[in-house]
Amino acid sequence: MRQANRIVAAAHKLAATMMQPGIRTDEIDRAVESLIRAEGGKPAFKGYRGYPASICISIEDQVVHGIPSARRLQSGQVISIDIGASYKGYYGDAAATHACGGVDLLRARLMDATDLALSRAIRQAKAGGCLNDIGKIVEKTALEAGFSVVRDYVGHGIGTQMHEEPQVLNFDNHMPGPELREGMVLAIEPMLNAGTDVVRSLSDGWTVVTADGKPSAHFEHTVVVREAGGEILSWCDAPMWGDKSD
Ligand code: MF3
Ligand code: CO
């Protein structure tokens, strides 16, 4: 899983350099797929329930699962990129939202709040805690910043399959849920919307968009539950946990 996630992290670094106005989203997909394969991995999304590409790239009001295409990025947009890879049967999964060119204050704050929600959630991924601590801190962080949390899509356990138990909600479920145990591996992935939390799917069968057309941001890491908080597997240069303090 470390190696699968190292490949995912390297793919994100490459993708980040490509988030430029004018680039076609399928060019980023092609570059990421090449990198994953060159590192000995397999793109986890390609063929998953018939998904046609190696990345999900979700622009502006697209929340998750945007399909790469001939569409070109424009300055001022927020772009979420989600990448999964497997290596020797083990999975890695991570997502990040980038500014293409300059973005306005609303978008900058939305990305910051989502990233902060993930950082705080990772800090809560500690042995002896409970699963609901993660959702609680994500929801609190979103609401304090004046944003909403997507409820229809969730994080997940990850291991020899991309999606394993348990589901990792991004909101308070008002029940403690299972105890977090040392060594559990979770993909934590808050999705925050600037406006309503209501989302809908497009007729392509994949792309999820906000109901009000306002922008959305998404960050995800694969983390191991540890005594001191989550250990991030999907970021090469990250410290052992919570790289942001508040
Ligand atoms: N990365 C998504 C997740 O975290 C999965 C993408 S769905 C796929 O669950 F079909 F694109 F693979
Ligand atoms: Co995921």
Centre of ligand 1 from the C-alpha of residue 162, in Å: 8
Distances (CA, A) of 94 to 13, 43, 108, 172, 221: 12, 12, 20, 22, 5
- pLDDT per residue over 93-120, tens digit each? 999 999 999 999 999 999 999 999 999 9
Beta bridge partners, 223, equal 186, 232
Q: By alpha-carbon position, which residue is closest to atom 2 of ligand 1? A: 82
C-alpha–C-alpha distance, residues 233 and 246, integer Å: 22
C-alpha–C-alpha distance, residues 190 and 171, integer Å: 9
pLDDT 10s per residue in the chain (246 long)? 999 999 999 999 999 999 999 999 999 999 999 999 999 999 999 999 999 999 999 999 999 999 999 999 999 999 999 999 999 999 999 999 999 999 999 999 999 999 999 999 999 999 999 999 999 999 999 999 999 999 999 999 999 999 999 999 999 999 999 999 999 999 999 999 999 999 999 999 999 999 999 999 999 999 999 999 999 999 875 333 334 444
Token pair of 62 as six digits: 């697209």
- Burial (CB count <10 Å: 0-12, 13-18, 19+), residue 69: middle
Contacts of 26 (CB under 8 A, 6+ apart): 53, 68, 69, 70
Give me the CATH topology for the region 2-232. Creatine Amidinohydrolase (3.90.230)
Predicted local confidence at residue 138, as pLDDT: 98
Ligand 1, CB cutoff 6 Å, lining residues: 45, 48-49, 51, 56, 65, 82, 84, 93, 187, 189
Domain boundaries, the chain: 2-232
